[in-house]
Structure 1
Amino acid sequence: MTETSSSCAPRPELPPVRRRTVLAGSAVAGAAVAGAAAVADPWGSPAAQAATSPYFQHGVASGDPLPDRVVLWTRVTPQRDATPGSGRGGNVTVEWQVATDTRFLHLAARGTYRTGPAADHTVKVDATGLRPGTRYVYRFLLNGVPSPVGRTRTAPAATAVPDRLRLGVVSCANLQAGYFHAYRHLAQRDDLDAILHLGDYLYEYGPGEYGLGRDNVDVRRHVPAREMVSLADHRQRHAQYKQDPDLQWLHSKYPFIVTWDDHETTNDAWRGGAENHQPATEGDWATRRARAHRAYDEWMPVRMNGTAALGDGTRLFRSLRFGRLAQLSMLDLRTYRDEQVAYPAVDARVSDPARTITGRAQLDWLKDALGTTQVQWKLVGNPVMIAPVTFAQLPTELLDPVNDVTHLLPRDGSPYNVDQWDGYTDDRRELFTHIRDRGIRDTVFVTGDIHSGWAADLPYDVATYPLGRSAGVEFVASSVTSNNLKDILGVPPRTGSLAVESAIRLANRHVRYLDFDSHGYSVLDVTSARVQMDWYVTGPRDQRGAGSTHAVSFQTLAGTNTISRAAGPVGGR
């Protein structure tokens, strides 16, 4: 697909978007009605952002903000039967506009994009020539009919020192397991700069698999009604998620910064396969993964291989700067990793230097990124947990002589989850040694995947901590909807999980906070003095419109590399 663009002076002759009555209901209902997007308060409710033209049924989105550009995305339905994954419909030219006012009288950039069935009629452009640290609105037009209006913001200039950076943090949103309350509550805020999505943006399972609670109840059924394997399956599933009104609202309001975990392809993915992939019936793994990556590239507002162009590569790890305050390094911990060791995990292979979770190129890139002296805070968008969570660990000075003889014991004790960095401890040890040897401070890992809330220091030697030092801290966000421990056990919250949480914290003194029971979202607030994470808990997943309450806040003060309790949440709702 092709794109043309230009920066623009004000163009008052362009037709403004006129306010129309928006039909009540979801984006799916609104998509059937022709009209124009509301602009008086275009981010006031999901209904106000529902697509009011059959051309734009999947909303609008932006992502990966840089000082002079941002990725813009939409999907067009040029004719009724040109549904996602169908391959039907011809090529069309879509206009895109970026403006400083909601009537689009003062354009900052504009262009056209040619799309068609080869790209599943998705539109993905890099809007360039923008000003740093500036809020913009954007829209698309097909045949003169406008899309909903989106809002976005560029990153500060590289030399700027912003007062703060504030991110919404989410992960693990399984549509079959419930409604996306977290997205709605984040969209109701007006104090965020971007949304950090740490993986499992969508799930591969078919109906009846991995739904709500122990019985796997489908609160909503996946489309298509099977596990996604083919390219058409992936495209249809992305389209279904993009029609959720709460996700569509959040996308229209803030730029997303995303990475994938495993369910964008399939469960427990690694470079050569996955736990939930059966070659005999589902074909070649490399082919299946390539389909997943292609659909992700088409349907997500993200740069892969550093560009918004489709099909130019699958490298997702990248860094984004926010002036001199923070750098955010986004990791890909599925594409390059070796296969997980089997449970139970008393297996010395978790410490084998030949095994990797990052791959050599990505680990070297991350070490370079953490070593930069041009920014204060080194944030890492981390799909799986890096803090050690182990049992029966021995001090290093006792463990090394034993392994010199036996080679039987994991270097950091017996891990409880080998799907995370605990299953690849040599990569973690190399990274932490790099931080220690170069005196790197103010490193914060922000993590998803594990469907629970955590706050932890990152000890160099877990067995002797807190006598030793910490390489940094980790904040882990809970899941949006995916089942957690209480759901799997089928018990009320704060009952059966308490004993497990106590046992983990007793054996891991660096873990400051742990909640195995809650679903929700977090807000990460960065200033020169500290980085703070606020955890919010949302109500029942099977009830529309459930509320949200603040649960707890933790922080790391500049220069400490450790966690402490914060007085309360930041900002206003």
Structure 2
Amino acid sequence: MAKTIMRRDFLKAAAAGTGLAAVGLPAATAAAAETPLFRHGVASGDPLPDAVIIWTRVTPSPEAVPGSGAGAPAEVTWQVAADPEFQRIVASGTLTTGPERDHTVKADVRGLEAATAYHYRFLYAGVASPAGLTRTAPRPEDDVDGLRLGVVSCSNWEAGHFSAYRHLAARGDLFGVVHLGDYIYEYGRGQFAARGAVVRPHEPAHEILSLADYRTRHGQYKTDPDLQALHAACPWMIVWDDHEVANDSWSGGAENHDPATEGPWAPRLAASRQAYFEWMPVRTGPSGEIYRNLRFGTLADLTMLDLRSYRSQQTSGVEVDDPGRTMTGQAQMDWLRNTLSGGGARWRLIGNSVMISPLALGSLPAHLLGPLRRLLGVPEGGYALNSDQWDGYTAERKRLLAALPDNTVFLTGDIHTSWANDVPQTAATYPVSPSLAVEFVVPSVTSDNIDDFLRVEPRTLSLTAEGLVRAANRHVRGVELDSHGYGVLDVQPGRVQMDWFTISNRSRADATSSWLASFASSHGSRRLRRVYRPVS
């Protein structure tokens, strides 16, 4: 019998276990606030059929705050149970943590049953952490008839409250959450806030550079009650983008890194990566790589890409067409092509931190220029608006698109706005030329977007921009440039659908949520169609 991942059984376990699934886990976050030893909550991630990662941080003494390097070693017990009372413990262990890992605790729990909901917690000095709810994936051969995921990116503490996380936690119908990067921001106070105004000040006050800085910033973000609620509600599948280190980063540096005043790039990168692995429930490969593949029965697999660690430096003009430029690095591209060519599920989801669909505005399509294109120095796809996206790496994008199997869906963040795109083989001749995949781009949780940057009212100047985008890019089926919020991806054997939701006011902790738009793609179509209501 086919199974729906995260439906009645998980809801039943959640409701019976904590009474929290339908109300955003407020009791879990309240417990964290009232339990100083576990003030950063709990989290889980990267579910496999027999395993899941669980995470927490312990504060064994008042001085042992994130980034301090202070505090004694602490022996922490973890437990995974089949029931909310922890009477039927199925796995447990003890880990020692301390200042060398910022008192974080992360266990890759093995030997679990597939497609099963579990409760987990940690214990230290006779005190239990808040309990979290997680789930393992089904086996690759299991028939699965439904998968529902929250999809988010770009959560800037200074720009507002994380109400999007609260509304996702309150749904109670998600198997898990896909976070596409910019989980934290590196800027100092006021450097990138809400229309220039700081809603919540960053700690530390300066731009983060050292290991202590990155640990402190991660620790601050993990105190957010809405973030804690969503982490405690379900497993997350996460990948970094640039702000986990510095804006517009590439393999050898970043736009927001000045070696003359901030020192060499390598130590800063190493510090940010160490803090990330300490603080996030993410599984790494044998060489520390973060790109990975997760499988959900016969229905879907999810490939998470690292588009920062190995890429060539951003450039402009005709140089974006250089076949030697790389977004992924050769090893990751070889792995990706091999993964995509293997026997897969009905839907191939790709967690892709920057937009893969081409985007041109106010430019003459390059195909009209014929042999004059190179003489005039026009890149193959027309002048790119943002060469930090795949538009800056056109040759490698072409190689990737040629390797895509049917029913590929790109899940994208980074640009703080909402897009529904067909991914064309040749943008200039679309829709005569085919679409090779579809792409769903989710808005920012809080980070500034078009109306914020322009300091104008929403749905004013952005309407003109949206019209220009659609006119110059016929593969863009939907675009909204103003709202903050999140996406909910619903996968069924015959179709995949993304619902976009917006929050009313990122500056308010009690912001409400409303449905914005929906697009779907039928199995085998490689194109999007408008849908006029969200999944129930």
Distance 2:376 2:436 in 1: 26
8 Å CA contact 2:417, 2:444 repeated in 1: yes
- Compared CA separation, residues 393 and 87, structure 1 to 2 (3 A): same
Distance 1:305 1:119 in 2: 19
**Which residue pairs with 1:293 in the alignment?**
273
- Compared CA separation, residues 157 and 301, structure 1 to 2 (3 A): same
1:470 aligns with 2:435: yes
1:371 aligns with 2:345: no
TM-score w.r.t. the length of structure 1 is 0.88
**Which residue pairs with 1:553 in the alignment?**
518
**Where do residues 157-196 of structure 1 align in structure 2 (5 Å cutoff)?**
157-196=139-178
**Where do residues 257-296 of structure 1 align in structure 2 (5 Å cutoff)?**
257-296=237-276
Distance 2:397 2:70 in 1: 47
SS of the aligned residue for 1:406 comes to: helix
8 Å CA contact 1:46, 1:248 repeated in 2: no
1:331 aligns with 2:305: yes
Q: What are the superposed Cα offsets for residues 420-479 of structure 1, whole Å, 9 maximum, x if unpaired?
A: 0001111111111223xxxx2100000000000000101111111100111100000000
1:416 aligns with 2:381: no
8 Å CA contact 2:158, 2:199 repeated in 1: yes
User: Which residue identity is paired with 1:487?
Assistant: D
**46-55 or 188-197: bigger deviation:** 46-55
Q: What are the superposed Cα offsets for residues 373-416 of structure 1, whole Å, 9 maximum, x if unpaired?
A: 331111000000000001435464x556335x637221111111
Distance 2:364 2:380 in 1: 8
Distance 1:48 1:447 in 2: 30
Distance 1:395 1:48 in 2: 55
**Which residue pairs with 2:29 in the alignment?**
49
Q: CA deviation at 1:355?
A: 0.9
Q: What are the superposed Cα offsets for residues 466-500 of structure 1, whole Å, 9 maximum, x if unpaired?
A: 00111100000000000000001111111110111
8 Å CA contact 1:136, 1:151 repeated in 2: yes
Q: How many residues are paired up?
A: 516
**Where do residues 51-450 of structure 1 align in structure 2 (5 Å cutoff)?**
51=32, 52-213=34-195, 216-305=196-285, 313-341=287-315, 345=316, 347-391=317-361, 392-394=363-365, 396=367, 401-403=371-373, 406=375, 408-435=377-404, 440-450=405-415
8 Å CA contact 2:44, 2:234 repeated in 1: yes
8 Å CA contact 2:415, 2:444 repeated in 1: yes
Structure 1, unmatched stretches of 5+, are 1-37, 307-312
Q: CA deviation at 1:360?
A: 1.0
Q: CA deviation at 1:53?
A: 2.1
SS of the aligned residue for 1:415 comes to: coil
Q: CA deviation at 1:94?
A: 0.6
8 Å CA contact 2:154, 2:183 repeated in 1: yes
Q: CA deviation at 1:104?
A: 0.3
Question: Between the two proteins, what is the percent identity of the paired residues?
Answer: 53
**Which residue pairs with 1:485 in the alignment?**
450
Q: CA deviation at 1:41?
A: 2.3
Distance 1:395 1:457 in 2: 19
User: Which residue identity is paired with 2:343?
Assistant: T
User: Which residue identity is paired with 1:365?
Assistant: W
Q: CA deviation at 1:145?
A: 1.0
Distance 2:336 2:482 in 1: 32
8 Å CA contact 1:160, 1:324 repeated in 2: yes
8 Å CA contact 1:172, 1:481 repeated in 2: yes
8 Å CA contact 1:399, 1:411 repeated in 2: no
1:505 aligns with 2:470: yes
User: Which residue identity is paired with 1:420?
Assistant: Q
Distance 1:109 1:42 in 2: 23
Q: What are the superposed Cα offsets for residues 185-226 of structure 1, whole Å, 9 maximum, x if unpaired?
A: 00101100000000000100111111011xx11100001111
Q: CA deviation at 1:314?
A: 3.5
1:539 to 492, 501, 504: 504
Distance 1:95 1:364 in 2: 40
Structure 2, unmatched stretches of 5+, are 1-15
Distance 1:443 1:39 in 2: 36
Task: Name the one with the larger helix percent.
Answer: 2
How much is the aligned-residue C-alpha RMSD, in angstroms? 1.5
Distance 2:350 2:364 in 1: 26
**379-388 or 489-498: bigger deviation:** 489-498
- Compared CA separation, residues 137 and 422, structure 1 to 2 (3 A): same
SS of the aligned residue for 2:334 comes to: helix
8 Å CA contact 1:458, 1:472 repeated in 2: yes
